[in-house]
Amino acid sequence: MPQSPLRQLLSWLKWPIALSLIAWLGYQNREQFERILSGEQEVHWQFLAAAFALCMSSIVLTFFRWYLLVVALDFPFLFRDALRLGFLGYLFNYVAPGAVGGDAVKALVLANEQTSRRAVAVATILLDRILGLLALLMVGAGAALVVSADIEHRAKIVAVLWGGASAGLLGLTVMLSPAARSRPVVALTRLPKVGGLFADLLDAVALYQSRRGVIVLTVLISVVGHFGVISSFYLCALAVSNSQMVPGYVAHLFLIPLAEIVGVIVPLPGGVGALEGAVQKSYEMAGANPQVGFLAAGVYRLTTIVIAIVGAAFYVLQKRRIATLLASASDPDGDVPSADTGSIDDDLAKS
C-alpha cells in the first residue's frame, strides 16, 4: 500500500538526522581527528588493508549463508544470484529511497525471479537475518566467559547476551522439532486467504527439518562471519591508534555485538550515527579512550561504504528493472509483494 505523506516525510528525514548525529559526535571527538591530521598519530595502513579484506570476506560469507538457506528449499538459485542480490541489498541499506531498505529490495527482486512459492523465498531473507542475529549473540555470550570483570555494566550485558542467545537457540530448536507442525499450527493452513501462505511456510519448515545439517552449517558460518567482522573492527581501531588506547580483542568480542544491535534497532540508514555512538560508549565502559572508539567506528563505516559501492555496479546493470519493481511495490494493484516488509534498519532480525 502507498505510504502516507507523514510516513514518507519521516522516512526521508532519516538521513539528515543520521548526518546531524554524526556531525555532533565528530565535533565531540575532534581532538582525535586533529591528532591524525597533524601526524601525531600514525595511520597503520597494513591494519586497514587487513580490516577491509576481513570485512569483505565476512560479508560475502553471509551471502553464502543465505544461498544455502534458499537452495535447501529446492529453489533454482545460484551463488552468483546470492552475490548479486546480496550486494544490491547492502547498497540499498545506505541509499534506499524512503523506507525501502536493503532486505526489502532483495525481497522484491527475489520474489520477481522466483515465480513459485514467492512468500517462502522471501521468508528465507528473514530466517537469514534471525540466524545472523543469533550467531552475533552467541559470539558475545562466548566472550563473556573470559572477558575481564572490570567492564562497566558487565553483568547486565552478560544477561542480555546469554538471554538472547538462549532464546534464539530455543526458538531454532522448536522450529526443527515436531512441535513446529503440531495440530494447532497445521490448523492455520485452513484459515481463509492466508491459509495457503501458512501451508507453504510449513512445507518449508518440513524441508529444513529434513535438512537440519544445513541450519547447523549456516549458524556456524554466521559465527565465523561475525568473528571476521568484529576482528575487522578491531583492526580498524589499531589502524588509527595504538594498542594501549584500544580495548583488548576479547573485550571487542564482548562489547561490539551489542553496539551492532543498537545500530540495527535505531531506525537510521545503515545505523549511521547509532553504531558510532554505541561503540564510543562501549569503549568508555571498557575504560578506554571513547574518542578512539568513535574514530575506529568511523573507519569501519568507511570500509563498509566502500564495500557497498560494489553493489552500485549491480544496480547500474539493473537500474530500470529495480525502479519498475519499486514502483510496483507502491501500487496496490501490482503483483509484486510490497517492499514495506521491513529492513536491516527497521527490524531486529538484521545482523
pLDDT tens sequence across 305-335? 888 888 787 777 777 776 676 666 555 444 4
Asked if residue 239 is part of any domain, the answer here is yes
Asked if residue 351 is part of any domain, the answer here is no
Residue 158: domain span? 18-329
Asked if residue 343 is part of any domain, the answer here is no
Residue 209 has pLDDT above 50, yes or no: yes
Residue 280 has pLDDT above 90, yes or no: yes
* Residue-wise pLDDT tens digits, 168-189: 999 999 888 888 878 888 787 8
| CA distances from residue 306 to 55, 168, 217 in whole angstroms, order as listed | 11, 32, 29
| Portion of the chain with pLDDT greater than 90, in percent | 39
Q: Minimum mean pLDDT among 8-17, 87-96, 312-321: which range? A: 8-17
Contacts of 334 (CB under 8 A, 6+ apart): 327, 328
Asked if residue 336 is part of any domain, the answer here is no
Number of domains in the chain: 1
**Max intra-chain CA distance, the chain:** 69
Whether the CB-CB separation of 294 and 279 falls below 8 Å is answered with yes
Exposure class string for 26-47: b at 16+ Cβ within 10 A, else e: beebeebbebeeeeebeeeeeb
Q: What is the pLDDT of residue 325?
A: 65
CB atoms within 10 A of CB 109: 20
Three cell numbers, residue 40: 601525531
Asked if residue 182 is part of any domain, the answer here is yes
Give me the half-sphere count of Cα atoms (radius 13 Å) on the Cβ side of residue 171: 11
| pLDDT, averaged across the chain | 83
pTM assigned to the model? 0.83
Asked if residue 2 is part of any domain, the answer here is no
* Residue-wise pLDDT tens digits, 102-160: 777 788 788 777 777 778 888 888 899 999 999 999 999 999 999 987 898 999 999 99
Q: Which residue has the higher pLDDT, 19 or 297?
A: 297
Residue 16 has pLDDT above 50, yes or no: yes
Residue 20 has pLDDT above 50, yes or no: yes
Asked if residue 7 is part of any domain, the answer here is no
How would residue 91 be classed by pLDDT, with cut points 50, 70 and 90?
confident
Asked if residue 347 is part of any domain, the answer here is no
SS3 call for 149: coil
Whether the CB-CB separation of 148 and 173 falls below 8 Å is answered with no
Q: Where are the alpha helices (DSSP H) in the chain?
A: 5-12, 14-28, 30-38, 45-71, 79-95, 102-113, 118-144, 154-175, 183-186, 195-210, 212-239, 249-265, 274-285, 290-317, 319-329
